[in-house]
Amino acid sequence: MNTKLKKVTVALSGLGLLALVACQSMEQGTGQKASATLVSKSGSNAKGEVNFVWQGNDVLVTGKFSGLKPNAEQGFHVHEKGDCSSADATSAGPHFNPATKDHGMPNSGMSHAGDMPNIKSDANGNATYSAKLHGFTVNTGPSGIVGRSVVVHRDPDDYKSQPAGNSGPRIACGLIK
C-alpha cells in the first residue's frame, strides 16, 4: 500500500472511530418507563400520578392531578433530590439542572432539564397532562430522572424568573421510580 493511501485509510478509520464515540455519547431510550405518585404538601389537597416514557431523544410525560386551584395554572418541575419528606417539599431541593443552565421555557435548549410546561386545571381543580420533552433521560445516569422528585407548585411558572420561575410554594411531591 502506498504512503498516500495509508494516510487516507488511517484518516478514515479515525473519522469512523470519532463517529462511533459521538453516537455512543448521545443517550437514546426506547420505552424505559418511570412513574411518581404525588402526595399533598404545604397544607394543600393536591395529588397526582405522573408517568415518564423515553422515546428516542424525547420523554413523553403524562399525568392526572386533582385538588388544584380551579381554572388555574401550576408550575411543574423535576427536582434534584428524591426526597419529599418535608411538609413543604423543600427537601426535594432545587430544579434538576445537570447542565447548569438558567431557568427558562421547556424544550428551548436554554432551560433546566427539570423545567416542564405548567399544569392547567379545569373548573373542578382536576387536570390531565401530556408533554413531549427533552433534556433528561429515564434512567439513573447524570441526566436521568429516576431517583429524583417531581413537584407541583401553587402558582404558574413564568419561565423567566431565576432560579425557579416564581411558581410559589410546593403543593405536591412524588418520588420518580
Active site residues: 77, 79, 95, 103, 112, 115, 153, 170
Q: How many residues are present in the chain?
A: 177
The DSSP call for residue 89 is S
Cell triple for 99: 447542565
On whether the CB atoms of residues 59 and 132 are closer than 8 A, the answer is yes
CA distance 115 to 93: 14
Half-sphere exposure of 93 (CA within 13 A, CB side): 14
CA distance 149 to 11: 46
For the chain, give the longest Cα–Cα distance: 78
Look at residues 157, 136, 35 and name the one whose alpha carbon lies nearest to residue 170. Answer: 157
